[in-house]
Amino acid sequence: MELTTYTALIVLLPLLGYLLLGLFGKKIFGNSSGLVGTALLLVTTILSFYVAYTYFFVLGNVNGVYQAIKPLQFTWLEFSPGMSIDMGLLLDPISCMMLVVVSFVSLMVHIYSLGYMKGEERYPTYYAHLALFTFSMLGLVLSTNIFQIYMFWELVGVSSFLLIGFYYNKASALAAAKKAFIVTRFADLGFLIGILVLSFYSNTLDISTLIQRLTSPDGNEMKTAVAASFMGLSALTWGLLLVFMGGAGKSAMFPLHIWLPDAMEGPTPVSALIHAATMVVAGVYLVARLFPVFSMSPIVLDFIAYVGAFSALFAAIIACTQTDIKRVLAYSTMSQIGYMMFALGVSGNTSETGLGFTASMFHLFTHAMFKALLFLGAGAVIHYVHSNEMKDMGGLRKKMPITHLTFLIACLAIAGVPLLSGFFSKEEILLAAYQKNMLIYGIALFTSGLTAFYMFRLYFNIFWSKPYESAHESHHGEGGFVMMLPLVLLAIGAAFAGYIPFGKYVSFNGEAHEGHMDIMFSIAPVALAIAGIGLAIFLYKKENEKPGKISASLGALYNSAYHKFYIDEIYLFITKKVLFNVIARPAAWFDKNIIDGMVNMAGDSTVWISGKIKGIQSGKVQQYALYFMAGIIGLVLLLVYVWK
Partner 1 sequence: MNLSLLILLPLLTALAVLVVKKPSLVRIISFIGSVLQLGLAIFLYVAYSQERANGNFDTMLFTEQWSIFPSMRISFHLGVDGISVAMIMLTSFVVLAGVLVSWKVEKMTKEFYLLLLLLAMGAYGFFLSLDLFVLFFFLEVAVIPKYLLIGIWGSGKKEYSANKLALMLMGASALVLVGILGVYFAAGKENRTFDILQIVQNVQMSPDAQKIFFPFLFVGFGVFTALFPFHTWVPDGHSSAPTAGSMFLAGISMKLGGYGCLRVATYLLPEGAKEYANIIIILSAIAVLYGAFATMMQKDLKYINAYSSISHCGFVLLGIGMLTKTAITGAVMQMVSHGLMTALFFAVIGMIYERTHTRIVAEMGGLMKAMPFIMTVLFIAGLCSLGLPGFSGFVAEMTVFMGSWENADAFHRIATIAACMSIVVTAVYILRAVGQVAMGPIKASYASLGDASWNEKLAAIVLIIGIVAIGVAPFWLNELVTPGTEVIMNRLGVH
| Residues making contact with partner 1 (CB under 8 A) | 75-80, 83, 85, 147, 150-152, 154-155, 158, 161, 165, 168-171, 173-174, 177-178, 181-182, 185-186, 188-189, 192-193, 196, 199-200, 579-580, 583-585, 587-588, 591, 595-596, 598-599, 603
| Smallest distance from partner 1 to CB 341, Å | 23
Shortest reach from residue 163's CB to partner 1, in Å: 13
User: ω before 14 within 30° of 0 (cis)?
Assistant: no
Distance in angstroms (rounded) separating the CA atoms of residues 327 and 346: 29
Q: Which amino acid appears at position 530 of this protein?
A: I
Tell me how far, at minimum, the Cβ of 167 lies from partner 1, in Å: 9
CB count within 10 Å of CB 329 equals 28
Query: By C-beta, is 158 or 530 nearer to partner 1?
Result: 158
Question: Which amino acid does the sequence have at 192?
Answer: L
Strands 65-66 and 61-62: what pairing?
A: antiparallel
Least distance from C-beta 145 to partner 1, angstroms? 12
Which runs of consecutive H residues, i.e. helices, occur in 555-595? Answer: 556-562, 567-572, 585-589
Closest to partner 1 by CB, 151 or 328: 151
Q: Which residues contact 314 (CB under 8 A, 6 or more apart)?
A: 254, 335, 338, 565
For β-strands 61-62 and 69-80, DSSP reports them as: unpaired
| Burial tier of 228 (Cβ tally within 10 Å: 0-12, 13-18, 19+) | middle
DSSP code per residue over 259-318: HHHHGGGS-HHHHHIIIIISGGGHHHHHHHHTHHHHTT-HHHHHHHHHHHHHHHHHHHHH
Distance CA 254, CA 174 (A): 23
Q: How many CB atoms lie within 10 A of CB 460?
A: 23
Distances 576 to 209, 421, 430, 583, 641 between C-alpha atoms, Å: 43, 44, 41, 10, 68
The smaller minimum CB distance to partner 1, of residues 577 and 585, is found at 585
Shortest CB 596 distance to partner 1, Å: 4
Q: Angle at the Cα of 486 (from 483 to 491), degrees rounded to 5? A: 125
State the nearest-atom distance from the C-beta of 170 to partner 1, in Å. Answer: 8
In terms of CB distance, is 247 or 525 closer to partner 1? 247
For Cα atoms 142, 147, 150, give the angle at the middle one, nearest 5 degrees.
75
* DSSP state letter for 465: B
Rounded (10°) angle between helices 282-289 and 325-345: 10
Smallest distance, Å, CB 89 to partner 1? 17
Identity of the residue, 31 or 581, whose beta carbon is nearer to partner 1 in the bound complex: 581
Q: In the complex, what is the shortest distance from the CB of residue 281 to partner 1, in angstroms, rounded to a whole number?
A: 20
Q: CB of 583: closest distance to partner 1 in angstroms?
A: 5
**Identity of the residue, 538 or 608, whose beta carbon is nearer to partner 1 in the bound complex:** 608
Q: Measured from the CB of residue 47, what is the shortest distance to partner 1 in angstroms?
A: 23
Instruction: Give me the least distance between CB of 20 and partner 1, in Å please.
Output: 16
- Round to whole Å and give the CA distance between 469 and 153: 45
Q: Which is nearer to partner 1, 11 or 173 (CB)?
A: 173
Of the pair 249, 283, the CB lying nearest partner 1 is at 249
Using DSSP, state whether 99 is helix, strand or coil: helix
Residue number, 239 or 532, with CB nearest to partner 1 = 239
> What number of residues does the chain have?
644
Contact (CB, 8 A) for 345 and 308: yes
- Of the pair 2, 591, the CB lying nearest partner 1 is at 591
Question: For residues 487 and 421, is the Cβ–Cβ distance under 8 A?
Answer: no
CB nearer to partner 1: pick between 127 and 505:
127
Q: How far is the CB of 189 from partner 1 (least distance, A)?
A: 5
How far apart are the C-alpha atoms of 516 and 535, rounded to whole Å?
A: 31
Nearer CB in complex with partner 1: 286/411: 286
Is 532:452 a contact under the CB 8 Å cutoff? yes
Between CA 580 and CA 588, with CA 586 as vertex, the angle to 5 degrees is 90
CB of 147 to partner 1, least distance (A): 7
Nearer to partner 1, 169 or 610 (CB): 169
Q: For residue 538, give Cα distances in angstroms to 435, 448, 456, 529.
A: 34, 18, 11, 14
Q: Is the distance from CB of 213 to CB of 165 less than 8 angstroms?
A: no
SS3 call for 75: strand
Give me the least distance between CB of 584 and partner 1, in Å please: 4
Instruction: Considering the complex, state which of residue 242 and residue 400 has its C-beta at the smaller distance from partner 1.
Output: 242
> How far is the C-alpha of 376 from the C-alpha of 486, rounded, in Å?
8
Nearest residue (CB) to partner 1, 523 versus 601: 601
Task: Decide whether 174 or 405 has the Cβ nearer to partner 1.
Answer: 174
Q: How far is the CB of 617 from partner 1 (least distance, A)?
A: 22
Closest CA to 433 of 520, 347, 304: 347
Given a contact cutoff of 8 angstroms between Cβ atoms, the answer to whether 243 and 189 are in contact is no
CB of 73 to partner 1, least distance (A): 14
